[in-house]
Amino acid sequence: MDFDLTPDQQAFVATARDFATERLLPHAGRWDEEREFPAEALREAAGLGFAGIYVDEALGGTGLTRLDAALIFEELAAADPSTAAFLSIHNMVAWMLGRFGDAGQQARYMPRLLGCEIFASYCLTEPGSGSDAAALRTRAEADGNAHYKLNGSKAFISGGGVSDLYATMVRTGGEGPRGISCVLVEKGTPGLSFGKPEKKMGWNSQPTTAVTFADCRVPVANRLGAEGEGFRFAMMGLDGGRINIAACSLGGARACLELALDYVRQRRAFGKTLSEFQALQFKLADMATELEAARLMVHRAAAALDAKAPDATQRCAMAKRYATDVCHRICDEALQLHGGYGYIKDYQVERYLRDLRVHRILEGTNEIMRVIIARKLLEAA
């Protein structure tokens, strides 16, 4: 077991870090404040190969592994977790198209996705079925032989209104997961509409809206795979999505730890720097230890997914649960170490804290992660 990065990994990690430092960090506070979607910066990231990280090279992707992706997303999120997380969602849709799409679909959408000429969103959650995703109600009825007519609504969709392509889970059959299919819906399709952007605690560089379908006519040719395969695609996508969002948590927490270290070295109280107080040294030691433990879990889960290990889903759930909880706590401790300054936007710690809070909810809440882990444990027994 080798924990050192390969030369190739060192190279693309350095590229991601430089890009994040130069193109994301200087603007992240403004994007958050003004709720601005950084389309041009995302296109620049795409130019570095970050819009199709684990899409096969034969399709124009970067052809890297899930572990490689985790390394990249940590670097990007160390500057801006919100923008990095949107890019991870875009990557998920590109991967689904590359893995399950046919040649016609790939030719039509993939080049534009990989260059971020168009942006993609993932539509699973509904107002009445959040954690119980298999109970979704958005319906796709046959409309002749060549089209579906979609009716229903999705909730909390990242990129709603700004994305150009929506990978949407719909019910084409009976109740339960086997009745769910996945269709690609293009922005501008009659019957597709968006709610007003939600006013959120964090993740403000990407809009979040409801997505509504009212007699929305979509070609059957836009369905990924066969009818009834959509839920399986969704769950496979979520395994990788959980690693990505955990990696984004690593980046945000690492940035906060670094900010806290800089602050305690400089700030003086009672005649000495804060870094000289043993109580604060212990706090920093715990933050660093927990961050490293979380990183090891995320990388282990990513390696399991790359190897198609039978316990990959369990490891992804464990890594997501642990990393998102621990990393949010690290951000909170960093804010506490800054005292009142941590609560002020100029110091940026509060932005990371707000952005990382939602990571414990999305891609399956951490309570659902515990359900998945427990089920896998009991199955093994």
Residues marked as catalytic: 363
d(CA 147, CA 138): 16
DSSP assigned state of 24: I
d(CA 153, CA 250): 32
**Neighbouring residues of 120: CB distance < 8 A, sequence distance ≥ 6:** 89, 90, 93, 94, 113, 159, 163, 164, 165, 166, 167
Burial of residue 147 (CB within 10 Å: 0-12, 13-18, 19+) is: middle
Q: Which residue has the tokens 């999705």?
A: 154
Question: With contact defined as beta carbons under 8 Å apart, do 167 and 180 qualify?
Answer: no
Burial of residue 197 (CB within 10 Å: 0-12, 13-18, 19+) is: middle
What are 122's strand-pairing partners?
Answer: 167
Structure tokens at 358: 């939602």
**Neighbouring residues of 76: CB distance < 8 A, sequence distance ≥ 6:** 16, 19, 20, 24, 45, 50, 83, 84, 87, 248, 251
Distance, first Cα to last Cα, the chain = 27
Structure tokens at 209: 């809206």
